[in-house]
Chains A and B, each alone.
Chain A
Amino acid sequence: MSRYIVKRILQSLLTVVIVVIAVFLLLRLMPTSGYFTRDDYINMTEEMRSAYLRNLGITDPAVIQLQRFFAGVFRGDLGRSITVYPKLPISTILAEKVPYSLWFGLASMFISVTLGFGLGILMARFKDRWPDHLGTAYVVAVRAIPSLIYLFLIQIWVTGIMRWPMVFYEDRPVTWILPVVSLSLTGIAWYGIWLRRFMVDEENRDYIKFARSKGLSQKYIMRHHVLRNAVVPLVQYLPVQLLLTIAGSLIIESIYSIPGMGGLLVYAIKQQDNNLVQVLVLIYAVLGVAGVFVGDLLMAFVDPRIRLAEKKKKKEALRV
């Protein structure tokens, strides 16, 4: 077990390093003007610019630069933003923005899981009857229609009907509702549809038929056998989704003017803020990899039948 964990940790580290190197190399393809604030660039002569780049270390061999980047991160120094928020330490930017995305993300995740599980159970219980059809219609709508359209319509119409403010204000809790609900829509659909499928699968198993013929009540079977077993493959995805809530949602944060992480990466890349891009990519990669890892551990924990070194068929059957 512990050998497996060590191996997985090393593997995860390798993945993170490769991701960061890949993005690092991709960023080299962008023009070096990204390292200057706009005004600095205009005011500098060509010699001043190359001296500046030398000072920053951009002209050093890639290996040395990478070494420096990782050494900085290791010391806890994330560097400073260049163009998006000129000269502001990246740690300050993150400290300002992460809480918004995190709180909204956690709230919506809570709603997604509770309502999504509820929906899934309901749909499985009334399979092929109207709650199932209604649920399916919802899931299809959310997954097939481009989210921009319905999110925008929700904002315009619901705020109009309820007479709520159109954008987010920190001191007015009523404005928190729509962003959280909007964030939850896809999550509810996702948990709902998969839980339904796993429950239906489980119900057709022989041991359930046996349990039924033994005379156990439907309710008991559902609660103690079907649901428990159907939840297992979903549990694995909770950690990664939980951790990546800090990435925020670009569309929702943009239309409700929430100062979260959502658009940060896009701005950073568009404005060629290479330092910021690098740090964000590192963070997302670490969280993504760590999430999968914790998910695997969690799955082993809730389902004693699974030994970690084994291939996990259920996990593989699941495609997001």
Chain B
Amino acid sequence: MSDDAFTFAPWNPEAAEETGYSHYSYWRSTFRTFIKNRLSLTLLIIMGVLVLFSLLYPVLASVDPNKVALDSSLWNRRPDFAHIFGTDGLGRDIWARTWYGTRTSILLAFTIAFFDVGIGVVAGALWGYVRKSDQIMTEIYNVITNIPSTVYLILLSYIMKPGFWTIVIAMSSRGWITIARFIRNKVISLRESEYNVASRCLGTPLNRILGKNIIPFLVSIIIMQTALTIPYSIGAEVFLGFIGLGLPLDTVSLGNMVNQGRSNFMLYPFQLTWPTVILAVITVSFYIVGNKFADASDPKNHL
């Protein structure tokens, strides 16, 4: 047997790929798995429509959600043609307020999610990747999760004026660390996972490992975290309104509407019901869609 019984095969990336699933695309599979589920697809559409509508409503309609009626006969009107959801105790149109409120709450929630996830992912990746940082980051994690969140919120509202950015800063200064920890754990387990080690042994370049194996995983986590942070942020805004640290009272937000509608709930139930229904549909949709997306993005579920 001599050496010329063998010839070196030329390095061919395409051919190398063919050992696996030749036509497997992570994103396509994720998407396919996701839309196979009727419920999540329906909710995604509903959610999209609601979000889009709330963002477009101020452009489309000219009703001022803050317009107070001086004529008291326009106060507390039950739903009719002029006011689809009725009016509140000062004659303000609840339909308009619902959409403006939804918009405020969604913007707030997205902003918080953006910072939470943005900072969380970067910090988490570093935390997982740079071994030396582990001890410090763990201590930071312990400290932050042990300071009651109300302490932050109230101190911040004293230092800054109560408003949109105060809530964003207060929420994000706490939210990022849990996401960072989650990402860190993922990074560690991914880094050590056998298929990545195997890929590396086979000589796959690092950028391919990152691009094909790690980043898709992280992106799906990011999307899921964003989706789950949103209902949480909306709920937090309502809660802050309850303890008197929410958005300014003349800002239209779901939290303010819920807290103001609560006082007359037994008398004029419609004032609370409709905003609440819209709110619940949005938060529930985000929650379910986020979870379903997480399932769909797990390659184990792709076959």
B-chain residues with CB within 8 Å of residue A18 when the two chains form the complex: 139, 143
A-chain residues with CB within 8 Å of residue B142 when the two chains form the complex: 15, 289
Chain B CB within 8 A of A23 CB: yes
A132 shortest CB reach to chain B, Å: 13
Number of A positions contacting B (CB below 8 A): 43
* Complex interface: stretch among B10-18, B23-31, B52-60, B238-246: B238-246
B200 shortest CB reach to chain A, Å: 22
Q: Which residue of B lies closest to A250 (CB)?
A: B243
Q: Which of chain A's residues 2-39 have a Cβ closer than 8 Å to chain B?
A: 14-16, 18-19, 22-23, 26-27, 29-30
Are the C-beta atoms of A281 and B234 separated by less than 8 Å? no
Are the C-beta atoms of B262 and A29 separated by less than 8 Å? no
Q: Which of chain A's residues 44-62 have a Cβ closer than 8 Å to chain B?
A: none
Q: Which residue of A lies closest to B236 (CB)?
A: A146
A-chain residues with CB within 8 Å of residue B147 when the two chains form the complex: 19, 22-23, 281, 285
Are the C-beta atoms of A144 and B159 separated by less than 8 Å? no
Q: Which of chain A's residues 117-153 have a Cβ closer than 8 Å to chain B?
A: 140-141, 143-149, 152
Q: Which residue of B lies closest to A251 (CB)?
A: B242
Q: How far is the CA of A16 from the CA of B242 in the complex (A)?
A: 30
Q: Which of chain B's residues 270-301 have a Cβ closer than 8 Å to chain A?
A: 276, 279-280, 283-284, 286-288
Chain B CB within 8 A of A270 CB: yes
- The 0/1 profile, CB within 8 Å of A marked 1, for residues 151-164 of chain B is 10011001100000
A291 shortest CB reach to chain B, Å: 10
- The 0/1 profile, CB within 8 Å of A marked 1, for residues 133-156 of chain B is 000000100110111101100110
- Do A26 and B238 contact each other (CB < 8 Å), given the known contacts A144-B231, A144-B283, A148-B258? no
Chain A CB within 8 A of B260 CB: no
The residue that A319 contacts in the complex, of B139, B146, B178, B280, with Cβ under 8 A, is: B178
The residue that B155 contacts in the complex, of A16, A30, A316, with Cβ under 8 A, is: A30
B48 shortest CB reach to chain A, Å: 17
A-chain residues with CB within 8 Å of residue B238 when the two chains form the complex: 146, 148-149
A-chain residues with CB within 8 Å of residue B146 when the two chains form the complex: 15-16, 19, 284-285, 288-289
Q: Which residue of B lies closest to A316 (CB)?
A: B185
Number of B positions contacting A (CB below 8 A): 39
Chain B CB within 8 A of A161 CB: no
Chain A CB within 8 A of B201 CB: no
The residue that A269 contacts in the complex, of B155, B181, B235, B287, with Cβ under 8 A, is: B155
- The 0/1 profile, CB within 8 Å of A marked 1, for residues 102-130 of chain B is 00000000000000000000000000000
Are the C-beta atoms of B139 and A14 separated by less than 8 Å? yes
Chain B CB within 8 A of A243 CB: no
A23 shortest CB reach to chain B, Å: 6
Are the C-beta atoms of B280 and A140 separated by less than 8 Å? no
A-chain residues with CB within 8 Å of residue B234 when the two chains form the complex: 146
Chain A CB within 8 A of B265 CB: yes
- The 0/1 profile, CB within 8 Å of A marked 1, for residues 216-255 of chain B is 0000000000000001001100110011100000000000
A97 shortest CB reach to chain B, Å: 16
B-chain residues with CB within 8 Å of residue A22 when the two chains form the complex: 143, 147
Are the C-beta atoms of B280 and A144 separated by less than 8 Å? yes
The residue that A26 contacts in the complex, of B151, B189, B242, B244, with Cβ under 8 A, is: B151
Residues of B within 8 A of A (CB): 139, 142-143, 145-148, 150-151, 154-155, 158-159, 178, 181-182, 185, 189, 231, 234-235, 238-239, 242-244, 258-259, 262, 265-266, 276, 279-280, 283-284, 286-288
